[in-house]
Amino acid sequence: MRWWGSKSATDVERHAAPPQSAAVGSRRPTGVPQLRHGCLIALLWATAGHGLAQPSRIVTTAPSLTETVFALGAGSRVVGVSAHCNYPPDVLRLPRIGTYTRPDPERIAALRPDLVLLHGYRGDLRNRLEALGLRTLVVEQDSLEDVFHSLLQVGQALERRQQAEEMVIRIREGVEALRHRPPPRRPRTLIVVGRQPDALRGVIVVGPKSWLGALAEVAGAVNVVGPDLPRSPRVSLETILAWDPELILDASATTAEERERDALAARLLQPWLQRRELTAVRAGRVVALTEDWMLRPGPRVLAVLERLAAMIRGTHR
């Protein structure tokens, strides 16, 4: 079980971006979602990075990156993962190189990798690893377009270009298919991805510019977090009361263990149930998201989208 309490957004992979970070996706050409798949893939390949020899010993520092390598069929090359990596099951036997927030450069170097995959905002770690003579690839997964781009980056580095291209096309087609089936009603929704345990303090929420916020919009939500706010702002209870969402999705604690989920969900819901002034509480529309895979910007984002759609559209309670 992992509580995402008063950590900053940079500490949590499934958040979008640090509060003051620039929108990475905004640096890429506008209008990308309207391109045909072939044009889109060509455009993303142009920025995916080239010239890396095929690696045979890979270390990944985030669950989403581990899942990406395995989904591309290169899992046998992985020699080390973060302490939080648990999917697919084969990763459970691999050496751990530290937590997602604090990878250990010495542990990484001891595994003699020829490629280390880093999540964004790891400048100091990248410098230390490169000073040790290790090759790194940094990917950013803040926006939904960043997620697509990261899949192609990793595919290029692993010489799994076709597999990466097919994966991006499949995910994009699934996203667009749901976008073209709008719900009869779009609830005003708040997604919480961090807070203090058992209290509505230090609340970190998902903004519409993040990858998870983009999926929620496709699923049918109207995000109560305004577009002018950062991707993952920290907000007060007073702000939440003023927003008065019709649906609250709380993912401030997650677990990989099925047997823990019911108890964790009850614990997540308890502080909200004391706030009857909220429309979502009175309507019984506060839902706990306890599955850790729901907050990983990798190859399983279509499953995330389907789960969000079921809750937002009212087919799951």
When pLDDT is cut at 50, 70 and 90, the band that residue 27 belongs to is very low
Statement to judge: residues 57 and 6 lie in one domain: no
Statement to judge: residues 49 and 173 lie in one domain: yes
pTM of the model: 0.84
Statement to judge: residues 149 and 192 lie in one domain: no
Per-residue pLDDT of 192-242, as tens digits, reads 999 999 999 999 999 999 999 999 999 999 999 999 898 999 999 999 999
> Which position has the higher pLDDT, 234 or 13?
234
Residue 317 covered by a domain:
no
Q: Mean pLDDT in the chain? A: 86
> ∠20-22-26 over CA atoms, to 5°?
155
Is the model's pLDDT at 283 over the cut of 80?
A: yes
Statement to judge: residues 152 and 55 lie in one domain: yes
Statement to judge: residues 91 and 192 lie in one domain: no
The confidence score (pLDDT) of residue 72 equals 98
Q: Into how many domains does the chain fold?
A: 2
Residue 163 covered by a domain:
yes
Q: Is the dihedral of CA 168, 170, 174, 180 positive or negative?
A: positive
Residue pair 213/246 in contact (Cβ under 8 Å)? The answer is no
CATH number at residue 39: 3.40.50.1980
Is the model's pLDDT at 43 over the cut of 60?
A: no
Short-list 74, 68, 97, 75, CA closest to 84: 97
What residue numbers bound the domain in which 204 lies?
2-21+183-312
